[in-house]
Amino acid sequence: QSVLTQTPSVSAAPGQTVTISCSGSSSNIGKNSVSWYQQIPGTAPKLLIYDNNKRPSGIPDRFSGSKSGTSATLGITGLQTGDEADYYCGTWDNSLSGWVFGGGTKLTVL
């Protein structure tokens, strides 16, 4: 049981837009910045979004992030087949004194 809650799976056609939600609490998302990671099977996770809505160098602007209260959202526009992956949200939890992650959302691009 993950501390952060994500929808297990989402699917959409190429070119469409999807959003992936991440729900937490006042001890984690409510007080700290959220990051989003993309994990293609068999590889290490890669940072997509940090500080709720910032993109590291090299991440296309098709990827966006937002946070409101104790929830965060990852948006992906112009879906490509290469976007098929597992997506995780993560943040620090002040009560647990540790990093916490969502259970992951599997994105299928039909």
Q: How far is the CB of 108 from another protein (least distance, A)?
A: 17
> Given phi > 0 = left and psi -120 to 50 = alpha, else beta, which region is 69?
left
Decide if residue 78 touches another protein (CB under 8 A).
no
Interacting positions 1-40 with another protein (CB under 8 A): 2, 33, 35, 37
Binding part of the chain for another protein, among 14-22, 59-67, 72-80, 99-107 by CB under 8 A, reads 99-107
Of the CA atoms within 13 Å of residue 48, those in its CB half-sphere come to: 26
Cα(104)–Cα(110) distance, integer angstroms: 19
How many chain residues touch another protein (CB under 8 A)?
21
For the record, the structure tokens of 56 come out as: 């590291």
Which residue in the set 24, 74, 102, 109 belongs to the binding site for another protein (CB under 8 A)? 102
Decide if residue 47 touches another protein (CB under 8 A).
yes
Q: Residue 31: CB partners within 8 Å, gap ≥ 6? A: 94
For the record, the structure tokens of 96 come out as: 């647990």
Residues binding another protein (CB under 8 A) = 2, 33, 35, 37, 43-47, 50, 56, 88, 90, 97-104
